[in-house]
Amino acid sequence: MDLDVFVSAHRAEWDRLDALLQRRRLNGAEADELVALYQRTATHLSLIQSSAPDPQLTGRLSQLVARARSAVTGTRRASWRDVTHFLAYGFPAAVYRSRHWWVPTALLSTLVAALFGWWIGTHPEVQASIAAPDELRELTRPGGQYETYYSSHPAASFAAQVWTNNAQAAALCLVLGVFLGLPVLWVLLTNMLNLGVGFGLMSSAGRLDTFLGLVLPHGLLELTAVFVAAGTGLRLGWTVIDPGPRTRRTALAEEGRAAVGMAIGLALVLFISGAIEGFVTPSGLPTWARITIGVAAELVFLAYVYVLGGRAARSGTTGDLDAAERSATVPTAA
């Protein structure tokens, strides 16, 4: 493409679009003209970006297209209907669509945690490298630190602290996934190592049943949320490597927007698991009752994802913005 010739041929259209955008009122013919010029300028911008990128010209046309799009589509405000739609369709559909990433992540991570636990629980020398014998006994004895941890603070403040920590971990997985997923693997490894240490130490003390009774009520839902975040982060990282038929920029924009929505939804899921950890785990309920509550919460979430989310995904919902709210996409030159 000869950029100078292209600019000379279309400069008048861009100037006319700019002039129309500066007017407060347009008649019917001018409004139609604005829409037509917006579509043409968006196409021009795409051609320049793909064939003869020029930073200054691209910047000018990008601003012009953005202003025109705002004038054409108008400003839309979020409503409670949007929140309801997101919770009923967008979020579960996004989780369902990423199941091929987070389900294997969950299985492999659980296996890694179990291997860590077995290794620590069956090797006294590894236990000795973690802490002194007196400290290990204090951790694992009846009424020790593993048990009192869940009741060491008022339930409400403890639940809030747990929710904040877990939400931050999930957000890190989602945000850092763009770095080829490597930070996500580190977050997963750290979490599984911590779980494996508790599993191994309590099992070596013959108190594995107590450990599971403390972890399972909240841990099932909590870990599922972390695995979903990690799987989504890994998927985002893979998008950087292989965007598929989409351009890398478009693919990252779509998957990134879905990941942001995922972060909001997972924050709500982690709020529920935090409430269970703060109020149910340290409660005086029998172990079977506490575990039943945890299993019920996990099953409700999985049904929410696979029933509501599966139905929404099959109808075309992706968890991304609606088509009318996304940036306009136009054909690009080969």
Cβ pair 258, 319 in contact under 8 A: yes
In 3D space, the residue among 267, 146, 259, 295 whose CA is nearest the CA of residue 210 turns out to be 146
Task: Collect all residues with Cβ–Cβ distance below 8 Å to 23 and sequence separation of at least 6.
Answer: 30
Instruction: Return the SS3 of 114.
Output: helix
CA–CA distance, 255 with 100 (Å, rounded to integer): 15
Query: What secondary structure, in 3-state letters, does 267-304 show?
Result: HHHHHHHHHHHHHHCCCCCCHHHHHHHHHHHHHHHHHH
Lowest mean pLDDT, pick from 86-95, 114-123, 124-133, 157-166: 157-166
Average pLDDT over residues 172-188: 81
In the predicted model, is pLDDT for residue 256 greater than 80? no
Cβ pair 177, 259 in contact under 8 A: yes
| 116-145 residue pLDDT tens | 999 999 999 999 998 888 999 888 888 888
H or E element that contains 89:
none
Q: What local confidence, expressed as pLDDT, does residue 264 receive?
A: 86
- This model's pTM is above 0.75: no
In 3D space, the residue among 78, 53, 71 whose CA is nearest the CA of residue 328 turns out to be 71
Rounded to 5 degrees, φ, ψ at 78 are: -70, 150
What is the DSSP code string of 198-263? HHHHHHHTT-HHHHHHHHHHHHHHHHHHHHHHHHHHHHHHHHHH--TTS-HHHHHHHHHHHHHHHH
Q: What local confidence, expressed as pLDDT, does residue 1 receive?
A: 64
| 53-72 residue pLDDT tens | 777 888 888 888 888 888 87
Q: What local confidence, expressed as pLDDT, does residue 95 receive?
A: 92
Tokens 């989409």, located at residue? 246
Cβ pair 234, 101 in contact under 8 A: yes
The token pair that represents 254 in the structure block = 């779509």
CA–CA distance, 1 with 35 (Å, rounded to integer): 26
